[in-house]
C-alpha cells in the first residue's frame, strides 16, 4: 500500500507541476514520470498512445490549413450575419453558434474571432454582454466532446478500440451531440436574465462617466466588411467533405477495404488518412504555403495537445497498469455501486488540466481498471470539461477582455466569476443527458 501512495504522489505532483509550467511542460514532465516509475519503481511501461497522437496530428493539420486558407474567417462571417439578423436572441444563438463552430472545426480556439462580434451585437441591442459572452465561451469548449474531429473524441475512439470494447464514431456523437446541445440550451436559458440590464447597473453607469470608456463603447466591431475569397469558401466545403467522409465510412464500414486480419480498416486509421488527404486538397485549392500552416495558432495549439497527451497519458496508464490490483480491490466496489461518482473525479481532474483529451487520457485507463464499461465511460464524457472552474482558460480570458462593458468578469473572490454557473449548469445537464442516452443505447 505504501508503494502505491508514493507512486500516486509522484504522478499527482508531476501533473500539478506540468499544469503550473503550462504548454508542452505537461507532456515532458509526464515523460519524466514514466522514467521514474520504470527505472525507480521497476514498473513495466505501458504503450504510448501512438494512434491517438497521429489522429490529432492529422486533424490539427487539416484544421490549421483551413484557418490559413481563410475558411475560419468565412465561418465567423456567416455566424455574424445570423447574429445581427436576430440580435434579441443573441444569448441563445451565440452559444449555439460557438458550440457548432467547435463541432465543425474540432477546436475551441475558433471562438476568439467570434467573441468581439457577440459582445458588439449584445451591446447594440442593449443586452447585458455578460449573458451571451460567458455561456458562449463555455459552449465553445462543450462542443469538443461532440466533434467527430476533436482530440477528445478521437482519443476515446482509439482508447475503446485498444481496450477491446470498440464503439463507433457514430455511437460517440449520438451520445455527446444531443447531450451537449441540451446542456448549452439549459445554461443559455439561465443566462437569459442574469445580472442587471445595463441601464440599471450602477457599476456600468458609473463607468459611463469616463469619456474614454464611453468612446470605446462606440467602436464598431464587425467582420462583414472583410472580403472572403472564393478559395476560402471552397476550403470550408472541402473540410466539411472530409468530416462527412469520416462519418460516412463510420456509418458504412462495408465501404472500407479489409486489413490483414480480414476485418475493415479501423476508424482510428481512417480518420488519419482522410483528414490528411482533405488537408492536402485545401492546401492545393487555396495555394496555402506550408510554412504558414506550421505557424498558425490552430497548429501550435494542436501540437501542444499532442505533446501533453503523449507524456501525461503514458505516465497515467503506466501507473494504473502497475497498480490495477490495488485500485480494483479498494476503489472498484464503491465506483460500481455508484458509477456516477466517477464523473465527479473526472470533473475535478479537468478543473486543473486545461484539455479534455488530456483529462480523458488520465481518467479512462483508471475507469477501465475499476471495471467500468466503455458505454458508461462514454456517458460520463461531458464531465471532462471543468477548466472554466478557475476561469484561467484562454477563451474565458478572451471573453473578459473583449467585453467592452466590463460585465463579463472574474469576481472579487476568484470563484464568483461570470463562467461558473453557466459552466456548472451546462456540464452537469449534458453529463446527465449523456449518461441517460448511453444507458438506453447500450
pLDDT tops 70 at residue 331: no
Higher-pLDDT residue of 389 and 393 is 389
Is residue 351 within 8 A of residue 415, CB to CB? The reply is no
Residue 44 has pLDDT above 80, yes or no: yes
- Let me know: does 382 contact 145? Beta carbons within 8 Å: yes
350 has a pLDDT exceeding 90: no
Q: How far apart are CA 176 and CA 33, in angstroms?
A: 32
pLDDT band at 189 (very low <50, low <70, confident <90, very high): very high
CB atoms within 10 A of CB 211: 8
Q: Which residues lie below 8 Å from residue 403, measured CB to CB, with a gap of 6+?
A: 119, 129, 130, 133
Mean pLDDT across the chain? 85
User: How do residues 203-230 score in pLDDT, each as one tens digit?
Assistant: 888 888 877 777 777 766 776 777 889 9
pLDDT at residue 279 greater than cutoff 90: yes
How far apart CA 186 and CA 426 sit, in angstroms, is 6
Percent of the chain with pLDDT over 90: 31
* Predicted pLDDT at 95: 95
The CA angle 293-68-240, to the nearest 5 degrees, is 105
Say if CB 349 and CB 391 are below 8 A apart: no
CA dist 134 and 195 (Å) reads 12
Q: What's the confidence (pLDDT) of residue 249? A: 85
441: closest CA among 245, 110, 178? Answer: 178
Per residue in 235-276, pLDDT tens?
999 998 998 898 888 778 788 887 777 777 877 788 889 989
Comparing 59-68, 76-85, 405-414, 420-429, the range with the smallest average pLDDT is 405-414
Q: Is the CB of residue 151 less than 8 Å from the CB of residue 56?
A: yes
**Taking Cα atoms as reference points, which of 312, 313, 294 lies closest to residue 303?**
294
Can you list the alpha helix ranges (DSSP code H) found in 47-150? 50-68, 71-85, 90-105, 115-124, 130-142
Average pLDDT over residues 169-198: 93
| Dist. CA 181–CA 100, nearest whole Å | 9
pLDDT value at position 130? Answer: 92
Helices assigned H by DSSP within 287-355: 290-294, 297-322, 324-330, 332-337, 341-350
For residue 332, name the pLDDT band (cuts at 50, 70, 90): low
- Residues, the chain, total? 442
* Mean pLDDT along residues 158-164: 81
pLDDT grade for 19, boundaries at 50, 70 and 90: low
The domain locations on the chain are 1-441
**What pTM did the predictor assign?**
0.80
Residue 124 confidence (pLDDT) above 80: yes
- Report how many helices (DSSP H) and strands (DSSP E) the chain contains, helices first: 22, 0
Q: Give buried/exposed letters for 264-283 (b at 16+ CB in 10 A, else e).
A: bbbbbbbbbebbbebbebbb
Highest mean pLDDT among 80-94, 104-118, 360-374, 406-420: 80-94
What's the chain's Rg over C-alpha atoms? 22
Alpha carbons within 13 angstroms on the beta-carbon side of residue 197 total 6
Q: How far apart are CA 434 and CA 442, in angstroms?
A: 12
Q: What number is the average pLDDT over the span 162-190?
A: 91
pLDDT for 334 equals 67
Q: Regarding predicted confidence, which is higher, 175 or 315? A: 175
**Coil, strand or helix at 258:** strand
Angle at 387 between CA 381 and CA 388, to 5 degrees: 110
Amino acid at each position: 500500500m505504501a508503494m502505491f501512495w508514493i507512486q500516486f504522489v509522484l504522478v499527482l505532483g508531476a501533473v500539478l507541476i506540468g499544469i503550473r509550467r503550462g504548454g508542452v511542460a505537461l507532456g515532458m514532465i509526464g515523460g519524466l514520470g514514466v522514467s521514474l516509475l520504470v527505472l525507480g519503481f521497476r514498473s513495466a511501461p505501458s504503450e504510448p498512445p501512438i494512434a491517438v497522437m497521429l489522429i490529432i496530428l492529422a486533424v490539427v493539420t487539416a484544421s490549421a490549413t483551413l484557418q490559413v486558407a481563410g475558411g475560419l474567417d468565412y465561418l465567423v462571417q456567416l455566424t455574424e450575419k445570423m447574429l445581427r439578423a436576430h440580435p434579441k436572441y443573441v444569448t441563445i444563438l451565440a452559444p449555439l453558434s460557438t458550440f457548432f463552430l467547435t463541432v465543425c472545426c474540432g477546436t475551441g480556439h475558433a471562438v476568439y474571432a467570434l467573441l468581439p462580434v457577440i459582445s458588439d451585437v449584445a451591446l447594440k441591442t442593449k443586452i447585458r454582454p455578460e449573458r451571451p459572452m460567458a455561456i458562449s465561451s463555455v459552449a465553445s469548449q462543450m462542443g469538443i466532446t461532440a466533434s467527430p474531429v476533436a482530440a477528445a473524441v478521437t482519443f476515446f475512439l482509439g482508447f475503446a478500440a485498444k481496450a477491446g470494447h470498440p464503439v463507433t464514431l457514430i455511437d460517440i456523437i449520438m451520445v455527446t451531440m444531443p447531450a451537449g446541445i441540451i446542456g448549452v440550451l439549459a445554461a443559455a436559458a439561465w443566462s437569459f436574465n442574469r445580472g442587471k440590464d445595463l441601464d440599471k447597473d450602477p457599476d456600468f453607469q458609473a463607468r459611463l462617466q469616463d469619456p474614454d470608456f464611453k468612446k470605446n463603447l462606440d467602436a464598431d466591431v464587425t467582420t462583414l466588411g472583410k472580403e472572403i475569397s472564393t478559395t476560402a469558401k471552397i476550403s470550408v466545403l472541402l473540410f466539411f467533405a472530409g468530416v462527412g467522409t469520416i462519418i460516412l465510412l463510420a456509418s458504412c464500414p462495408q465501404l472500407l477495404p479489409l486489413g490483414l486480419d480480414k476485418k475493415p480498416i479501423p476508424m482510428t486509421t481512417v480518420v488519419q488518412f482522410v483528414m490528411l488527404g482533405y488537408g492536402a486538397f485545401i492546401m492545393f485549392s487555396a495555394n496555402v504555403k506550408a510554412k504558414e500552416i506550421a505557424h498558425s495558432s490552430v497548429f501550435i495549439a494542436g501540437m501542444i495537445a499532442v505533446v501533453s497527451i503523449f507524456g501525461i497519458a503514458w505516465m497515467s496508464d503506466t501507473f494504473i497498469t502497475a497498480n490495477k490490483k490495488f485500485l480494483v480491490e479498494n476503489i472498484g466496489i464503491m465506483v460500481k455501486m455508484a458509477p456516477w461518482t466517477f464523473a465527479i473525479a473526472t470533473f475535478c481532474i479537468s478543473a486543473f488540466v486545461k484539455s479534455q483529451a488530456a483529462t480523458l487520457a488520465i481518467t479512462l485507463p483508471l475507469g477501465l481498471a475499476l471495471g467500468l464499461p466503455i458505454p458508461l465511460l462514454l456517458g460520463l464524457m461531458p464531465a471532462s470539461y471543468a477548466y472554466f472552474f478557475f476561469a484561467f482558460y484562454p477563451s474565458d480570458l478572451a471573453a473578459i477582455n473583449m467585453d467592452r462593458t466590463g460585465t463579463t468578469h472574474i469576481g472579487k473572490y476568484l470563484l464568483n466569476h461570470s463562467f461558473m454557473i453557466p459552466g456548472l449548469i451546462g456540464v452537469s445537464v449534458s453529463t446527465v443527458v449523456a449518461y441517460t442516452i448511453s444507458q438506453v443505447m447500450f
